[in-house]
A and B are shown apart, each in its own frame.
Chain A
Amino acid sequence: DVKVTQSSRYLVKRTGEKVFLECVQDMDHENMFWYRQDPGLGLRLIYFSYDVKMKEKGDIPEGYSVSREKKERFSLILESASTNQTSMYLCASTPRRNSPLHFGNGTRLTVT
Protein backbone atom coordinates (compact mmCIF):
# COMPACT_ATOMS: atom_id res chain seq x y z
CA ASP A 1 0.00 0.00 0.00
CA VAL A 2 1.10 3.52 -0.74
CA LYS A 3 2.04 5.43 2.33
CA VAL A 4 2.01 9.20 2.47
CA THR A 5 3.37 10.45 5.75
CA GLN A 6 2.97 13.95 7.10
CA SER A 7 5.45 14.65 9.84
CA SER A 8 3.10 16.39 12.28
CA ARG A 9 -0.54 15.77 13.15
CA TYR A 10 -0.94 19.00 15.09
CA LEU A 11 1.09 22.20 15.04
CA VAL A 12 0.63 25.45 16.90
CA LYS A 13 2.64 28.43 15.68
CA ARG A 14 2.71 32.13 16.31
CA THR A 15 1.91 34.84 13.80
CA GLY A 16 4.99 35.75 11.77
CA GLU A 17 6.81 32.46 12.29
CA LYS A 18 8.21 30.53 9.36
CA VAL A 19 6.51 27.14 9.25
CA PHE A 20 7.58 23.96 7.48
CA LEU A 21 5.14 21.14 6.76
CA GLU A 22 6.81 17.96 5.59
CA CYS A 23 5.41 15.16 3.47
CA VAL A 24 7.07 11.92 2.40
CA GLN A 25 5.71 9.19 0.10
CA ASP A 26 7.20 5.74 -0.28
CA MET A 27 5.97 4.66 -3.73
CA ASP A 28 8.21 6.61 -6.07
CA HIS A 29 5.34 8.80 -7.29
CA GLU A 30 6.42 11.70 -9.47
CA ASN A 31 3.43 13.88 -8.68
CA MET A 32 2.80 15.43 -5.29
CA PHE A 33 0.27 17.96 -4.04
CA TRP A 34 -0.53 20.24 -1.12
CA TYR A 35 -4.14 21.09 -0.31
CA ARG A 36 -5.75 22.94 2.54
CA GLN A 37 -9.14 21.88 3.84
CA ASP A 38 -11.59 24.29 5.42
CA PRO A 39 -15.21 23.63 6.42
CA GLY A 40 -17.62 24.47 3.65
CA LEU A 41 -14.83 25.08 1.16
CA GLY A 42 -13.64 21.55 0.55
CA LEU A 43 -10.05 21.05 -0.52
CA ARG A 44 -8.22 23.86 -2.26
CA LEU A 45 -5.01 23.26 -4.15
CA ILE A 46 -2.02 25.29 -2.96
CA TYR A 47 0.88 23.88 -5.00
CA PHE A 48 1.79 20.75 -6.88
CA SER A 49 4.92 19.23 -8.32
CA TYR A 50 5.48 17.00 -11.35
CA ASP A 51 9.06 16.12 -10.58
CA VAL A 52 12.05 17.01 -8.48
CA LYS A 53 12.63 20.76 -8.44
CA MET A 54 9.47 21.30 -10.50
CA LYS A 55 6.51 23.12 -9.01
CA GLU A 56 3.33 24.76 -10.15
CA LYS A 57 0.94 27.08 -8.40
CA GLY A 58 -2.50 25.86 -7.56
CA ASP A 59 -5.52 28.00 -6.87
CA ILE A 60 -4.39 29.62 -3.59
CA PRO A 61 -0.57 29.89 -3.56
CA GLU A 62 -0.36 33.31 -1.88
CA GLY A 63 1.58 33.18 1.36
CA TYR A 64 3.01 29.73 0.63
CA SER A 65 6.02 28.26 -1.10
CA VAL A 66 7.18 24.68 -1.67
CA SER A 67 10.35 22.70 -1.99
CA ARG A 68 10.97 19.39 -3.75
CA GLU A 69 14.63 18.47 -3.53
CA LYS A 70 14.04 14.70 -3.53
CA LYS A 71 11.38 12.71 -5.33
CA GLU A 72 9.84 11.32 -2.16
CA ARG A 73 9.65 14.58 -0.20
CA PHE A 74 7.48 17.62 -0.78
CA SER A 75 7.59 20.45 1.74
CA LEU A 76 5.12 23.28 2.20
CA ILE A 77 6.50 26.51 3.64
CA LEU A 78 4.57 29.32 5.22
CA GLU A 79 7.01 32.21 4.96
CA SER A 80 5.32 34.31 7.65
CA ALA A 81 2.39 32.53 9.24
CA SER A 82 -0.86 34.41 9.63
CA THR A 83 -4.05 33.54 11.48
CA ASN A 84 -5.93 33.03 8.21
CA GLN A 85 -3.60 30.13 7.49
CA THR A 86 -5.07 28.16 10.37
CA SER A 87 -6.36 25.08 8.60
CA MET A 88 -5.99 21.36 7.92
CA TYR A 89 -3.22 20.73 5.41
CA LEU A 90 -3.28 17.58 3.30
CA CYS A 91 -0.47 16.17 1.22
CA ALA A 92 -1.15 13.74 -1.63
CA SER A 93 0.68 11.89 -4.39
CA THR A 94 -0.20 10.00 -7.56
CA PRO A 95 1.77 8.08 -10.19
CA ARG A 96 -0.33 8.73 -13.28
CA ARG A 97 -2.92 11.09 -14.64
CA ASN A 98 -5.69 8.48 -14.53
CA SER A 99 -4.83 7.35 -11.00
CA PRO A 100 -6.40 8.61 -7.78
CA LEU A 101 -4.59 10.70 -5.22
CA HIS A 102 -3.14 9.01 -2.15
CA PHE A 103 -3.47 11.23 0.90
CA GLY A 104 -1.62 11.60 4.15
CA ASN A 105 -3.55 11.95 7.41
CA GLY A 106 -3.19 15.70 7.45
CA THR A 107 -1.58 18.34 9.63
CA ARG A 108 -3.88 20.57 11.62
CA LEU A 109 -2.12 23.91 11.90
CA THR A 110 -3.21 26.60 14.32
CA VAL A 111 -1.66 30.06 14.04
CA THR A 112 -2.19 32.25 17.08
Chain B
Amino acid sequence: AQSVAQPEDQVNVAEGNPLTVKCTYSVSGNPYLFWYVQYPNRGLQFLLKYITGDNLVKGSYGFEAEFNKSQTSFHLKKPSALVSDSALYFCAVRDGNTGGFKTIFGAGTRLFVKA
Protein backbone atom coordinates (compact mmCIF):
# COMPACT_ATOMS: atom_id res chain seq x y z
CA ALA B 1 0.00 0.00 0.00
CA GLN B 2 1.10 3.53 -0.68
CA SER B 3 1.69 6.06 2.08
CA VAL B 4 3.16 9.52 2.52
CA ALA B 5 4.52 11.13 5.68
CA GLN B 6 5.05 14.83 6.18
CA PRO B 7 6.67 14.89 9.61
CA GLU B 8 6.23 18.60 10.27
CA ASP B 9 2.81 20.15 10.79
CA GLN B 10 4.32 23.59 10.44
CA VAL B 11 7.54 25.14 9.18
CA ASN B 12 8.55 28.69 10.07
CA VAL B 13 11.20 30.55 8.11
CA ALA B 14 12.28 34.15 7.70
CA GLU B 15 11.93 35.84 4.34
CA GLY B 16 15.08 35.46 2.27
CA ASN B 17 16.18 32.30 4.06
CA PRO B 18 16.15 28.88 2.43
CA LEU B 19 13.21 26.62 3.18
CA THR B 20 12.73 22.87 3.26
CA VAL B 21 9.46 20.98 3.61
CA LYS B 22 10.01 17.29 4.24
CA CYS B 23 8.28 14.29 2.69
CA THR B 24 8.92 10.56 2.88
CA TYR B 25 6.94 7.95 1.00
CA SER B 26 6.27 4.24 0.77
CA VAL B 27 5.21 2.51 -2.44
CA SER B 28 5.75 -1.00 -3.77
CA GLY B 29 6.60 -0.03 -7.35
CA ASN B 30 8.38 2.94 -8.87
CA PRO B 31 7.18 6.15 -7.26
CA TYR B 32 5.56 9.00 -9.10
CA LEU B 33 5.92 11.93 -6.69
CA PHE B 34 4.17 15.27 -6.64
CA TRP B 35 4.10 18.48 -4.64
CA TYR B 36 1.03 20.71 -4.45
CA VAL B 37 0.32 24.04 -2.75
CA GLN B 38 -2.98 25.22 -1.36
CA TYR B 39 -3.88 28.84 -0.65
CA PRO B 40 -6.82 29.68 1.66
CA ASN B 41 -10.22 28.57 0.39
CA ARG B 42 -8.79 27.23 -2.84
CA GLY B 43 -8.10 23.86 -4.42
CA LEU B 44 -4.61 22.46 -4.73
CA GLN B 45 -2.19 23.76 -7.34
CA PHE B 46 0.52 21.57 -8.84
CA LEU B 47 4.12 22.66 -8.13
CA LEU B 48 6.35 19.90 -9.47
CA LYS B 49 6.71 16.19 -10.06
CA TYR B 50 9.26 13.41 -10.22
CA ILE B 51 8.58 10.57 -12.62
CA THR B 52 12.02 9.48 -13.76
CA GLY B 53 15.40 10.98 -14.62
CA ASP B 54 17.29 13.63 -12.68
CA ASN B 55 16.87 13.46 -8.94
CA LEU B 56 16.59 17.24 -8.68
CA VAL B 57 13.41 18.55 -10.24
CA LYS B 58 12.49 22.18 -10.69
CA GLY B 59 8.97 23.52 -10.57
CA SER B 60 6.83 26.60 -10.35
CA TYR B 61 7.58 29.75 -8.32
CA GLY B 62 11.27 28.84 -7.82
CA PHE B 63 10.58 25.61 -5.95
CA GLU B 64 12.60 22.47 -6.43
CA ALA B 65 12.61 19.00 -4.91
CA GLU B 66 15.17 16.28 -4.50
CA PHE B 67 14.28 12.64 -4.99
CA ASN B 68 16.32 10.30 -2.79
CA LYS B 69 15.54 6.65 -3.48
CA SER B 70 17.60 5.19 -0.65
CA GLN B 71 15.93 7.43 1.92
CA THR B 72 12.54 7.27 0.17
CA SER B 73 12.31 11.03 0.46
CA PHE B 74 11.17 13.87 -1.76
CA HIS B 75 11.84 17.11 0.13
CA LEU B 76 10.60 20.42 -1.25
CA LYS B 77 13.10 23.28 -1.24
CA LYS B 78 13.46 26.91 -2.16
CA PRO B 79 16.71 28.90 -1.89
CA SER B 80 15.08 32.14 -0.76
CA ALA B 81 11.61 32.21 0.81
CA LEU B 82 9.02 34.89 0.13
CA VAL B 83 6.17 35.97 2.39
CA SER B 84 3.83 35.00 -0.45
CA ASP B 85 5.05 31.39 -0.17
CA SER B 86 3.07 31.07 3.06
CA ALA B 87 0.54 28.33 2.36
CA LEU B 88 -0.29 24.68 2.94
CA TYR B 89 1.92 22.20 1.08
CA PHE B 90 1.06 18.61 0.23
CA CYS B 91 3.28 15.79 -0.95
CA ALA B 92 1.64 12.96 -2.92
CA VAL B 93 2.66 9.58 -4.35
CA ARG B 94 1.32 7.32 -7.07
CA ASP B 95 2.56 3.79 -7.80
CA GLY B 96 4.09 3.93 -11.27
CA ASN B 97 4.09 0.15 -11.71
CA THR B 98 0.56 -0.89 -10.96
CA GLY B 99 -1.04 0.93 -13.85
CA GLY B 100 -3.49 2.66 -11.57
CA PHE B 101 -4.14 6.31 -10.86
CA LYS B 102 -4.63 6.17 -7.11
CA THR B 103 -2.80 9.12 -5.58
CA ILE B 104 -2.15 9.25 -1.86
CA PHE B 105 -1.48 12.53 -0.07
CA GLY B 106 0.36 13.43 3.09
CA ALA B 107 -1.33 15.33 5.90
CA GLY B 108 0.15 18.62 4.74
CA THR B 109 2.70 21.08 6.11
CA ARG B 110 1.81 24.68 6.79
CA LEU B 111 4.59 27.07 5.82
CA PHE B 112 4.84 30.46 7.50
CA VAL B 113 7.30 32.94 6.03
CA LYS B 114 7.90 35.91 8.28
CA ALA B 115 8.88 39.29 6.86
Contacts and interface: CB of A to CB of B under 8 A. Distances in A.
Interface in A8-40: 31, 33, 35, 40
A42 B107 contact: yes
Interface string B65-96: 00000000000000000000000001010101
A98 B44 CA distance: 17
Interface residue tally on A, bucketed by range = 20 to 34
Contacts of B45: 103
B99 A42 contact: no
Given A98-B96, A100-B46, A42 B101 contact: no
Interface residue tally on B, bucketed by range = 20 to 34
A65 interface: no
B30 to A, nearest CB: 10
B32 A97 contact: yes
Interface string B20-61: 000000000000101010000111111001010000000000
A31 B108 contact: no
Given A42-B90, A42-B106, A43-B90, A105 B43 contact: yes
B51 A50 contact: no
B104 interface: yes
A43 to B, nearest CB: 4
A98 B52 CA distance: 10
B105 A42 contact: yes
Closest 7 pairs between A and B when the two form their complex, measured CB to CB: A103-B43, A100-B46, A42-B107, A43-B105, A103-B44, A42-B105, A105-B43
Interface of B: 4, 6, 9, 32, 34, 36, 41-46, 49, 51, 90, 92, 94, 96, 99-108
7 contacts: A31-B101, A43-B90, A48-B101, A90-B44, A98-B32, A98-B49, A100-B46
Given A42-B107, A90-B44, A103-B45, 20 more contacts: A31-B101, A41-B107, A42-B90, A42-B106, A43-B90, A43-B105, A45-B102, A59-B104, A97-B32, A98-B32, A98-B49, A98-B51, A98-B96, A100-B34, A100-B36, A101-B34, A103-B36, A104-B43, A105-B42, A106-B41
